[in-house]
Amino acid sequence: MDVMAATSVTTWLGCVLSIGFVALALGKIVALPPLRERAHELGFSTSGFRIIGALELAGAVGLLAGVLWSPIGYAAAAGLVMLLAGAVIAQRRARLAAVEFLPALAFGAGTVAYLLMLIAT
């Protein structure tokens, strides 16, 4: 794959991931009832979950900015991967079914792919 095509795929993936992270973040920030319940189920306060949402939102912006300046993309992707690893750990500790943390694993895999593509281009 040439550099131009790789950059297009990286841009596309960054946009898709950003949209997903913005949706997740806004749900936490506005404390939608199902997410408020999930926060308490995982042992977080609603305020704590809002902070996680703010971090997701910052990460989403960073993924997009990383297309223009890769160091920001590296930092955002690394931060989001750590955040998602924490999500999986929290969900495992709460003894949730494996299907409950598949979204975190999927977003994590997509974010790692984005990071690797950024590094490669």
CA distance 89 to 92: 5
CA distance 36 to 39: 5
SS3 at position 8: helix
Confidence of residue 1 (pLDDT cuts 50, 70, 90): low
Decide: 85 and 105 in contact? Cβ < 8 Å: no
Return the HEC string of 36-76: HHHHHHCCCCHHHHHHHHHHHHHHHHHHHHHHHCHHHHHHH
pLDDT of residue 2: 58
Whether 10 has a pLDDT exceeding 70, the answer reads yes
pLDDT of residue 7: 74
Q: What is the mean pLDDT of the chain?
A: 91
What is the model's pTM?
0.89
pLDDT digit string, tens, across residues 40-99: 999 999 999 999 999 999 999 999 998 788 899 999 999 999 999 999 999 999 998 889
CA distance 88 to 56: 15
